[in-house]
A and B are shown apart, each in its own frame.
Chain A
């Protein structure tokens, strides 16, 4: 448990969080390598099945990063993603994984510092929570391996 390095999947909108991650790199802001970024055309593209499959395949934590309220390139994809994440939190509770392993965050493309800060905070939070109960029982870390 001491050496536990969580696997965190971040679904990042192309128009904000993905560019913010780039910005963090340009600004030489370090963030934990635990965060695996998946670029999506809009946070509204992230479906419940993507979230649940991420956990099934070994993620310890997942977050969806979309544009600031009112700034969605596709009008309201970020708000849809937000509602979907809330719905999925309940499902994760039912499964026994726990709602705290899933988060929705919002940022603009210029917020490289916020991207790095959220990546760090999420990694710390999941590290405190420990491995996902799913693969900790299964003894497998599909993504990490």
Chain B
């Protein structure tokens, strides 16, 4: 999923301070799962903002709505009946959702309520770690299902650096060395010889080095 964290309330207060009526929009997808911008967080933030502004004598009306998805224009249209009199929109979705709202409702400012972090997985309840950087050319089939791009601090392609000590990365004792994990997994699978295959220099154009990326499925596109 795409993970995110709410921005500090102070920053959000500054966004909405000039307005009397705003629409706060959550998203039922990734940000709900990582507890950053779902229906519940919309309610919490709306209450928090109202109370914080009230202390400065400012009474703000905050309309709350959570969309099934904010990254599809079909769902963004749902907001239209709620837009009457709304001076600004604050989105609790990832950056994709914020931009979709901005694209659809051109005459109102749109503010992000969260900082979008990374594509990750749950380690346990309440903890998420980066797992994928969307490089556009997946290597997981030859690295034992562990990504050296997302999980090695140096994105090394052919084994660990000298900073790998007892299975941990030199940046922190809390970070596993990706190449240690890869080696352990290949060994467990009896695929040690795979480790000897040199991975050639990666072409980063598919990872965004060639500019903004796009997928067009001609059978689906209209």
The residues of A with any CB-CB pair to B shorter than 8 Å are 47-49, 52-53, 55-56, 91, 94-97, 133-135, 137-138
Contact = CB atoms under 8 A, between A and B. Distances in A.
A56 B44 contact: no
16 contacts: A52-B44, A52-B48, A53-B43, A53-B47, A91-B44, A91-B48, A94-B9, A94-B10, A94-B52, A95-B48, A97-B51, A133-B55, A134-B54, A137-B56, A138-B54, A138-B59
A56 B50 contact: yes
Contacts of A56: 47, 50-51
Interface string B15-56: 000000000000000000000000010011001101110111
Contacts, number: 46
Given A56-B47, A91-B44, 8 more contacts: A48-B40, A49-B43, A53-B43, A56-B50, A94-B52, A96-B52, A96-B55, A134-B55
Contacts of B52: 94-96
A133 B40 CA distance: 24
A47 B51 contact: no
Contacts of B50: 56
Nearest to A133: B55
A95 B50 CA distance: 9
Nearest to B10: A94
Nearest to B126: A83
Contacts of A133: 55
B14 to A, nearest CB: 13
